[in-house]
Amino acid sequence: MPTLLKNLLKFTLFFVGAFIALSIWASYNRNLEKKVFGTPSFHGATVYRMPDLADWAYAERAKKKILFLGPSTLYRGVAPYVLNDDEISVFNGGSSGQRIMNSYFLLKYVLERGEIDMLVLDVFPRLWTGSKGVESARDHILNNPEYPAKAFGEMAWASEDVRNLFLGAFYAVKRGLLGRNEIQVTPAKEDDYRGDGFIYTLDSKERKSVDVRSDTASFSFREKRYFKKVQRLCAEKEIKLIVLIPPEVQPTPFVLPLIMDASNILNAQEAVPDSSLFYDNHHLYGRGAEYFSNWLKPRIKTVFNTQ
Amino acid sequence: MLIASYVFYGWWDYRFLGLILFSTVVDFVVGQSLAFAERPKRRKALLGLSLAVNLGLLAIFKYYNFFVESWIDAWAMFGIEMQASTLKIILPVGISFYTFQTLSYSIDIYRRKLQPTKSFINFAAFVSFFPQLVAGPIERASNLLPQIEKPRKFNYDQAVAGLRLILWGLFKKVVIADSLAPMVDDIFSNYEAYPGSVLVLGAVYFAFQIYCDFSGYSDIAIGVAKLFGVELMSNFKFPYFSRDIAEFWRRWHISLSTWFRDYLYIPIGGSRVNKAKVIRNVFIIFLVSGFWHGANWTFIWWGGIHAALFLPLLLLERNRKHRGEIAAHDRLLPNLRELWGMGSTFVMVTLAWVFFRAENMTHALDYLASIPNGITQIPNVFRSGLPYIAALLLLDWHFRKDERNIRFSKYQWVRYVFYTVLLLCILSNFSSEESFIYFQF
């Protein structure tokens, strides 16, 4: 046994050395990087959102700071410039396929840099089962100039995906060790990034048919676990937590998880009655986002004033 | 080991733990009772109980809907509309593997080839031994049970060989099978849109996908078992280097084909009966083997095609021509005769794979009928799979003398470079969304 362990250690050192050498080489050779590790992409403007989020997190609390976290329904659906005023400062921290696990680590990332007053967590019921947040974790490694911040490393680990760890290790070398954190991506034509994390979806984006789900969504064990962590962190830092169920053309039926405090839930499933403001069942055009944000504003303010 | 195995199986769906436990209890009790039963009638009844329970579970969970639907279809051919309800049944993962494993235990005791174990824990560990529980190799009690019963000691060479097999198996599965899978899916789903040359590519890719997927799992299973000091039987011995169909079946899914040979083919007479019965027996074993893979006519046809390919060799008494060593065992390269044998066998096997992969018989036949259209066009899509196949063939050829010894070179630094390349390829291709094809059987 000791001989095996000794030889395994020897090989591990050899492998780590080879990996670092390959990572350095790939950091300066785009073709190699693309072949072995992959290519960053626009993918919901994470590349622009994350530096903005870092700046917002570090900014002083002159106003009440409200952070929104959630999936694509959020970054296309809530326009901070509609919500912002003399009293509140909003940041939309949504990203593609973001699950509660991903939101938890994004919240940690923000709290490591500053304080916030309220968290609005978009929990889109269609995402309650299925993937473990692998896609979003990969997005926050590959397309995120702020990687390798500690919280993103933890997110990669929590996604339980070998490839995410592999990519995480490479970008730790490239961006952390070599400081090569410039990311070149081509923005999607119909997606107009308007700052504070929001993407204004232009009307030129093709409308898709509405797919109706009749299955009732309920929280997976994993969603419950990370929701509890978010609750705990918010309680610890005295942050108000609001759960937002986003608007849909055909609302997805769901069972409200017992761990949620019913008084802090904003069910907006039917908040946007005009289906022409959506480009599919649950993604809003920019016009729709402005409409929905106007619906949201007084309700958010009420929560502040009443609690 | 038993706890680890049950946790492993329960991780997928804990409700099916009851099923494996039930099968285990029945065969343990049957085994114990057979030890004391002398009267042939009673012995037969006990064996019948084991067969009924194990094959009954398989029939309900795997074949119920197939039988009901085939029954309705058969009457529909005569214009009679029948109403029957099918069930929404989830196929318990690995059921075809562990039921065959427990059955072999009862049959061997019935034949007085094996003494029943007195320890229920050891028997349960044999049935559920986690490395090979869900996709084989299908072990025999005479090989695995004594290894579980005796105390095991750590063996450096065995552990290292195990780690090498795990790495090699992962490479075949993650890098080759999973890279070919999306191309195969695309080609088979949209075969009308592609020229014949691409369809040929699709069939070849599937041949390598299923080989790397399944043999990769077997290598991992054998490797993990080695870490526990257990030697499982070999399941694949470089089948695409076979020089005829008979040799192919000695090198492909060995644990299943030998199971059918020992517990079905030989009991019904094997090849020691008259020619008509030999033909019948060959068809029975291949059709049952096809049916074992799934409740679909495509699998049965796949088995039938192999029977038709194997039979001429058997009738001409040429089926034992390549019983010994692998092609070019004492040379670097194969000679022309061997090359022709390997090439023609691969073509036949690959054509049969089309039936295995197709959704239904119409799909398979249409796919094959579309191949002549545009067969001469050089494919300008899906060529990215070819380097994977070339790499696999080169490495398989290098290792061909011993499937259990994946030692690339005698020089340690060369081996380190080789393992590093394999590991980097695995890590850069890894996807947590992919599964193994043979889990569904």
pLDDT digits (tens, 9 = 90+) for B30-75: 999 998 888 889 999 998 999 998 888 888 877 666 667 777 777 7
CB contact under 8 A, B430 and A15: no
CB-CB under 8 Å, A22 with B424: yes
B207 and B183 housed in the same domain: yes
- Contacting A with CB below 8 Å, chain B residues are 154, 156, 159-160, 416-417, 419-420, 423-424, 427-433
DSSP helix/strand/coil, A95: coil
Average pLDDT over residues B139-166: 92
Report, as an integer, the average pLDDT of B392-397: 94
Task: Give catalytic status of residue B293 as yes or no.
Answer: yes
B427/A166 Cβ within 8 A: yes
Q: Do A3 and B427 touch (CB under 8 A)?
A: no
Q: What is the pLDDT of residue B84?
A: 60
Domain shared by B53 and B104, yes or no = yes
Cβ of A7 within 8 Å of Cβ of B160? The answer is yes
Q: In the prediction, which pLDDT does B90 show?
A: 64
At residue B219 the predicted structure's pLDDT band, cuts being 50, 70 and 90, is very high
Whether the complex's predicted ipTM surpasses the cut of 0.90: no
Judge contact between B140 and B233, C-beta under 8 A: yes
Q: How far is it, in rounded angstroms, from Cα B313 to Cα A287?
A: 73
**Confidence bin at B14 (pLDDT 50/70/90):** confident
Residues of A within an 8 Å Cβ radius of B: 1, 3-4, 7, 11, 14-15, 18-19, 22, 36-37, 132, 134, 160-163, 166
Q: Tell me if B259 is assigned to some domain.
A: no
Domain co-membership, B114 together with B197 = no
Q: Would you say residue B161 lies in a domain?
A: yes
Residues B185 and B47 in one domain: no
Check residue B440 and give its pLDDT: 52
Is residue B410 a part of any domain in this protein?
yes
> Per the CB < 8 Å rule, is A163 touching B423?
no
Among B114, B148, B182, residue at a domain's last position: B148
**Mean pLDDT across B232-240:** 94
Residues B43 and B184 reside in one and the same domain: no
Give residue B278's pLDDT: 86
Residue B290 lies in a domain: no
Q: How far is CA A111 from the centre of its chain?
A: 15
Range of the domain at B117: 2-148
Do B6 and B96 reside in the same domain of the chain?
yes
Would you say residue B302 has pLDDT above 80?
A: yes
Kindly determine whether residue B427 and residue A163, on different chains, have CB atoms separated by under 8 Å: yes
Q: How far is B163 from chain A (nearest CA, A)?
A: 10
| One-letter amino acid for residue A202 of the chain | L
Number of H helices, E strands in chain A: 11, 7
What is the DSSP code (8-state) at residue A176? I
pLDDT in tens, B314-372: 888 888 888 878 888 888 899 999 999 999 999 999 999 999 999 989 999 999 999 99
Taking 90 as the threshold, does the pLDDT of residue B429 lie above it? no
Band (pLDDT 50/70/90 cuts) for residue B270 is confident
**Structure confidence at residue B92 as a pLDDT band (50, 70, 90):** confident
- The answer as to whether B204 is a domain residue is yes
In this predicted structure, the answer to whether residue B264 has a pLDDT above a threshold of 60 is yes
Q: Is residue B215 domain-shared with residue B351, that is, in the same domain?
A: yes
Name which of B171, B106, B103, B99 is nearest B136 in CA terms.
B99
User: How far is residue B206's CA from residue B223's CA, in Å, rounded to a whole number?
Assistant: 25
pLDDT in tens, B99-144: 889 999 999 999 998 899 989 999 999 999 999 887 779 999 889 9
Mean per-residue pLDDT, B219-242:
94
SS (H, E, C) chain B: CHHHHHHHHHHHCHHHHHHHHHHHHHHHHHHHHHHHCCCHHHHHHHHHHHHHHHHHHHHHHHHHHHHHHHHHHHHHCCCCCCCCCCCCCCCCCCHHHHHHHHHHHHHHHHCCCCCCCCCHHHHHHHHHCHHHCCCCCCCCHHHHHHHHHCCCCCCHHHHHHHHHHHHHHHHHHHHHHHHHHHHHHHHHHCHHHCCHHHHHHHHHHHHHHHHHHHHHHHHHHHHHHHHCCCCCCCCCCCHHHCCCHHHHHHHCCHHHHHHHHHHHHCCCCCCCCCHHHHHHHHHHHHHHHHHHHCCCHHHHHHHHHHHHHHHHHHHCCCCCCCCCCCCCCCCCCCCHHHHHHHHHHHHHHHHHHHHHHCCCHHHHHHHHHHCCCCCCCCCCCCHHHHHHHHHHHHHHHHHCCCCCCCCCCCCHHHHHHHHHHHHHHHHHHCCCCCCCHHHHC
Q: Are residues B6 and B131 in the same domain?
A: yes
- For residue B432, give the nearest of A22, A37, A160 by CB distance: A160
| Residue A162 to residue B428, Cβ atoms within 8 A | no
Residue B187 has pLDDT above 90, yes or no: yes
* % residues pLDDT > 70 (chain B): 94
Residue A162 C-alpha, separation from nearest chain B C-alpha, in angstroms: 6
A&B contacts, CB < 8 Å: 41
Of the candidates B253, B293, B306, B322, the residue annotated as catalytic is: B293
Domain count of the fold of chain B: 2
User: Which residue's structure tokens are 């794979």?
Assistant: B353
pLDDT score recorded for residue A296: 93
Q: Do B432 and A163 touch (CB under 8 A)?
A: yes
Gap from A98 CA to chain B (nearest CA, Å) = 17
Asked if B156 lies within 8 A of A4 by C-beta distance, the reply is yes
In B, which residues are within 8 Å of A13 by CB distance? none
In chain B, residues with a C-beta closer than 8 Å to the C-beta of A22 are: 424
Spell out, as residue ranges, where chain A has pLDDT lower than 50. Answer: none
pLDDT at B85 over 70: no
Distance from CA of B193 to the nearest CA of A (A): 25
Q: Which residues of A touch B422 (CB under 8 A)?
A: none
Looking at B132, B148, B164, which one is the last position of a domain? B148
Q: Pairing between strand A118-122 and A240-245?
A: parallel
| A162 → closest Cβ in B156, B420, B427 | B427
> Among residues B158, B143, B164, B124, which one has the least CA distance to residue B255?
B143
Mean pLDDT of B382-406: 89
pTM of the model: 0.83
CA distance B410 to A279: 62
Q: Are residues B373 and B432 in the same domain?
A: yes
- Residues on chain A touching B424 (C-beta within 8 angstroms): 18-19, 22, 36
Q: What is the pLDDT of residue B433?
A: 58
In this complex, the residue of A4, A14, A163 whose CB is nearest that of residue B431 is A163
pLDDT surpasses 80 at B294: no
Do B126 and B182 fall within a single domain?
no
Q: Are residues B69 and B161 in the same domain?
A: no
* pLDDT surpasses 70 at B439: no
Averaged confidence pLDDT in chain B: 88
**Measured in Å, how far apart are chain A's first and last C-alpha atoms?**
62
pLDDT of the residue at B57:
84
Residue B253 inside a domain? The answer is: no
- Return the bridge partners of A92, or none: A68
Give helix A134-142 / helix A162-171 axis angle, nearest 10°: 10
Residue B419: band (very low, low, confident or very high) from pLDDT cuts 50, 70, 90: very high
Find, in chain A, the residue whose alpha carbon is nearest to that of B160.
A4
Residues of chain A found within 8 Å of residue B427, distances taken between Cβ atoms: 162-163, 166
Q: What domains appear along chain A, each with residue ranges and CATH number?
A: 62-130+185-306 (3.40.50.1110)
B275 within a domain of the structure (yes/no): no
Does residue B166 share a domain with residue B137? no
Which of B82, B114, B148 is where one domain is finished? B148
Phi, psi at A242, each rounded to 5°: -120, 135
Over residues B390-402, mean pLDDT:
92
Does residue B117 form part of some domain? yes
